């Protein structure tokens, strides 16, 4: 009886399986369980995986990851060793490598980096111009010029979140420049709806500038 049921399920078309699996809301563990049932479900779950988290442990397997999950639109890169990761220039190398894959990224989250990986962002911006959400969390060094740079790279951003590291070892060495100049227009983003700056020493002039912007967006300090 069980064999007959399994055979009947295997005859279901991919479209029906996709419709069923979408209700799982991309649950990682459920997808993993389904992927070992049959080659058909492995292929379907691979195609329905839209978000990936890459850590230092999985970096060596990036080509295999993106070959398997070719429809990824949301990427989370997390460093567990800030000093090693930054000193070896891994963020720029990693993002440059990722830019060579035919991905259509909409969301990018970077966590626990030393500073904005400019070379990596440049490489990404040439291939992935449709990025709408960028989060830089637990960064040691971010200032106004970095925001200008981000805007130049990703002009279609709708959400920008910047959060400094709360590691006390780095507090005394940090220096942030958020003082506005007359020619500053970093919010010249046609689709920006939310900007969040957590943990930065921002003066009232900068905050007033955020709130005076004519477009309807949410500003968080």
Consecutive 10-residue averages of pLDDT for the chain (221 residues): 48 65 60 63 71 86 90 86 58 91 93 88 91 89 83 90 65 49 57 74 54 53 50
In this structure, the number of other CB atoms found within 10 A of the CB of residue 112 comes to 18
**Phi and psi, residue 48, nearest 5°:** -95, 10
28 and 56 part of one domain: no
In this structure, the number of other CB atoms found within 10 A of the CB of residue 25 comes to 7
Task: Tell me the C-alpha distance between 167 and 86, whole Å.
Answer: 16
Q: What is the dihedral of CA 79, 83, 89, 95, to 10 degrees?
A: 10
Task: Tell me the C-alpha distance between 211 and 160, whole Å.
Answer: 15
**Phi and psi, residue 51, nearest 5°:** -130, 140
26 and 98 part of one domain: no
Task: Tell me the C-alpha distance between 30 and 21, whole Å.
Answer: 9
68 and 174 part of one domain: yes
- Both structure tokens of 37: 């049932």
128 and 42 part of one domain: no
Residue 151 belongs to what domain range?
50-220
CB 116 within 8 A of CB 92: no
Give the model's pLDDT for residue 2: 40
User: What CATH number is attached to the domain comprising 130?
Assistant: 3.80.10
Residues 6+ apart with CB under 8 A from 45: 21, 31, 34, 35
150 and 196 part of one domain: yes
Is the four-CA dihedral 11, 12, 15, 20 of positive or negative sign? negative
166 and 191 part of one domain: yes
Phi-psi group of 81: left, alpha or beta (phi > 0 → left; psi -120 to 50 → alpha; rest → beta)? beta
44 and 54 part of one domain: no
Looking at the structure of the chain, the number of domains it has is 2
116 and 199 part of one domain: yes
Task: Tell me the C-alpha distance between 164 and 142, whole Å.
Answer: 7
93 and 188 part of one domain: yes
13 and 74 part of one domain: no
């Amino acid at each position: 009886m069980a064999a007959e049921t399994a055979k009947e399920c295997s005859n279901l078309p991919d479209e029906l399986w996709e419709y069923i699996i979408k209700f799982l809301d991309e649950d990682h563990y459920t997808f993993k369980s389904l992927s070992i049932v049959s080659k058909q479900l492995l292929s379907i779950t691979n195609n329905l995986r839209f978000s990936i988290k890459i850590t230092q442990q999985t970096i060596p397997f990036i080509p295999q990851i993106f070959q398997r999950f070719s429809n990824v639109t949301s990427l989370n890169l997390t460093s567990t060793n800030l000093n090693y990761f930054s000193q070896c220039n891994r963020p720029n190398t990693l993002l440059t490598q990722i830019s060579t894959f035919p991905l259509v990224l909409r969301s990018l989250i970077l966590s626990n980096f030393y500073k904005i990986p400019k070379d990596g962002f440049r490489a990404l911006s040439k291939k992935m111009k449709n990025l709408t959400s960028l989060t830089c969390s637990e960064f040691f060094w971010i200032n106004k010029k970095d925001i200008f740079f981000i805007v130049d790279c990703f002009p279609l951003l709708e959400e920008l979140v910047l959060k400094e590291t709360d590691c006390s070892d780095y507090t005394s060495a940090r220096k942030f420049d958020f003082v506005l100049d007359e020619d500053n227009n970093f919010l010249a983003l046609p689709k920006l709806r939310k900007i969040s700056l957590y943990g930065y020493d921002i003066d009232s002039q900068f905050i007033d500038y955020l709130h005076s912007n004519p477009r309807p967006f949410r500003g968080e300090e």
